[in-house]
Chain A
Amino acid sequence: MSILEESFSGIHKKLHNKELKVSELVDASFSRIKEVDDKVQAFLTLNEEAARNQAAKMDEAMGTGNTRGLLFGLPAGIKDNIVTNGLRTTAASQLLANFDPVHNATVMDGLEEADALTIGKLNMDEFAMGSSNENSGFYSARNPWNTDYVPGGSSGGAAASVAAGEVSFSLGSDTGGSIRQPASYCGVVGLKPTYGRVSRYGLIAFASSLDQIGPLTKNVEDNALVLGQIAGHDRRDSTSADVGISDYLSSLTGDVKGMKIAVPKEYLGEGVHEGVRNRVLEALKVLEQQGAEWEEVSLPHSQYAVAAYYLLASSEASANLARFDGVRYGVRAENADNLIDMYKETRSQGFGDEVKRRIMLGTFALSSGYYDAYYKKAQKVRTLIKRDFDQILEKYDVIVGPTAPTTAFKIGEKVNDPLTMYANDILTIPVNLAGVPAISVPCGFSEGLPVGLQIISRPFEESTVYRAAHAYEQAAGHYKAKPEL
């Protein structure tokens, strides 16, 4: 077994007992990348020299009894829309193909303080717009369970790199399901925190009222450890919440006795594949055997979530992506006669089709004469969707269902039909609109591909999400399965 398949606590025990060096850990990570990344294509940029130097320094410091951070020596992959000081950051866009940031995202400071090591930057759909990784401006990441299939998106590289054992953990971002859906497709654990739980400073913005950064890991305990290092208020992000951080590890009690679970009938209905539904029903049985109770409920407005989301997210994106104009950074189009032409040529050459489509939709929805009919209407429907969640979560501790209606689909299968692709996010999008925390945890397989169980709770109750996910995971054991590459 590769050392990178071990949990953080297993690795730390070996480091502590001097059976393992940090440089060996980093070596294992780069060896694995060299062995399998031709097939998986999870990475866009490697940080090899810096990571190896840092590992050597850590090995020296080990002897001197220096205090160690909670993520000491752990190889991490970072989604390429999170800016990393001096390390190329492209958001998988040709427009940013030459961009070397001059500052760190706040989450990167958190990882550095905890002594994690950045191994490289991870593939994604361009500017996080997509559900399959096929919208990467460079090449598509692939599903480690079957490389003819998509890894999901937009954090496809983040999920695939963890599933393939290339890193110990990764950071992704989730606007409409972009952490949870690829976690589900690749059989790893992925958390979208409460909106405002993690600073968005240094996350290349897609839809600012929905975006959140979160960890992808092999198990729930590791996930809780990473969240503890990146969560918290940040004066550089005024939408980050000034709410205390729980001791997430202490919530992993294994005790779900009396926990009240709501199962929305819309989450097991039409469009949800039988293999997925069956795995979720089996998972509910496991939770029931542990003393939790579940009942069917309804989230009546969830069917409108996809439509509301595409109007809201695209509108916000059209404003956020206005900054990519070829003036201060990025690849500027050459030979333009004047400023307006330079903007237009830079953006038309730099952006891919899906990004252009969403900028166009958002610009239209915000334009004079259409604002009330589309943008404002969608904001009002967002209120109704949020109310559904508030009401259910008053009576229940968690909401449980599948993360995605199907398992991973074949590369190329949905690429020409934007609406079918969008429908894929129907079970994750409502969570972003409501701003609540949710996790995807592996719950078995359907026809050889992983299925994810989604667990949702109240704002800032990541502890409750983790408690349920951990109790389930430990009882069911699906997280132990590894792909053969």
Chain B
Amino acid sequence: MERISKDQVRHVAHLARLSVTEEEVDTFTEQLDDIIEFAEQLNELDTDDVEPTTHVLDIHNVLRKDEKRPSLDREEALKNAPDQEDGQVKVPSVLE
């Protein structure tokens, strides 16, 4: 049985902001299908009454006072930016 189609792989690649060649679509479809098949062994377990674990420590909402603290200055924050203008990060056009 096919668990994931080529169209789904193309859709997931778009969601993940990855461009994929047709060759990669074929490879990913096959490999993801194998991995998902492997993951389906989890269905052998009855988990109806089991709470999901998102986090192992018993920590909830860690709050702090809303106080100013030193942070990076603009020059440092922009140091690694591939493109910049007037103290801001520059990107290609957002709208066509």
A residues with a Cβ closer than 8 A to B are 98-100, 102-103, 195-196, 209, 235, 238-239, 241, 301, 304, 307-308, 310-311, 318, 322, 325-332, 336-345, 347-348, 351, 356-357, 359-361, 363-364, 367, 374, 376-384, 386, 418-419, 433-435, 459
Contact = CB atoms under 8 A, between A and B. Distances in A.
B59 interface: yes
Contacts of B16: 318, 347, 359-360, 363
Contacts of B26: none
Nearest to B8: A364
Contact of A357 (B28, B51, B57, B62): B28
A341 B57 CA distance: 40
A381 B31 contact: no
Contact of B56 (A235, A325, A386): A386
B50 to A, nearest CB: 4
Contacts of B13: 360
Given A209-B56, A328-B80, A384 B50 contact: yes
A423 B83 CA distance: 42
B29 to A, nearest CB: 10
25 contacts: A239-B57, A241-B59, A304-B44, A304-B45, A307-B42, A310-B38, A328-B81, A329-B82, A332-B82, A337-B93, A347-B19, A357-B28, A359-B18, A364-B12, A374-B39, A376-B52, A379-B53, A380-B50, A382-B53, A383-B50, A384-B50, A386-B53, A419-B34, A433-B53, A435-B57
Interface in B39-93: 39, 41-45, 47, 50-57, 59, 62, 64, 72, 76-77, 79-83, 89, 91-93
Nearest to A348: B19
A156 B45 CA distance: 35
A456 B8 CA distance: 41
Given A307-B42, A326-B82, 16 more contacts: A102-B79, A102-B80, A195-B57, A304-B41, A304-B45, A318-B16, A328-B77, A328-B81, A328-B89, A344-B17, A360-B12, A364-B4, A378-B42, A380-B45, A381-B47, A418-B35
A367 B12 contact: yes
B45 A338 contact: no
A200 to B, nearest CB: 12
B58 to A, nearest CB: 10
Contacts of B19: 341, 344-345, 347-348
Nearest to A236: B69
Contacts of A339: 91-94
Interface of B: 4, 8-9, 12-13, 15-20, 28, 31-32, 34-36, 38-39, 41-45, 47, 50-57, 59, 62, 64, 72, 76-77, 79-83, 89, 91-96
A327 to B, nearest CB: 6
A382 B44 CA distance: 14
Contacts of B93: 337-339
Contacts of B64: 235
Contacts of A361: 32, 35-36
A100 to B, nearest CB: 7
A383 B51 contact: yes
Nearest to B44: A304
A382 to B, nearest CB: 4
A377 B39 CA distance: 10
A339 B92 CA distance: 5
B26 to A, nearest CB: 13
A329 B81 contact: yes
Nearest to B55: A209
A384 B79 CA distance: 46
B14 to A, nearest CB: 8
B57 A241 contact: yes
B81 A327 contact: yes
A330 B82 contact: yes
Given A196-B57, A383-B53, A338 B92 contact: yes
Contacts of A331: 82
B94 A338 contact: yes
Contacts of B38: 307, 310, 419
A380 B51 contact: yes
B27 to A, nearest CB: 8
B91 A360 contact: no
A378 B96 CA distance: 41
A122 to B, nearest CB: 21
B52 A379 contact: yes
Contacts of A433: 53
Contacts of B91: 327, 339, 342
A459 to B, nearest CB: 8
A381 B47 CA distance: 7
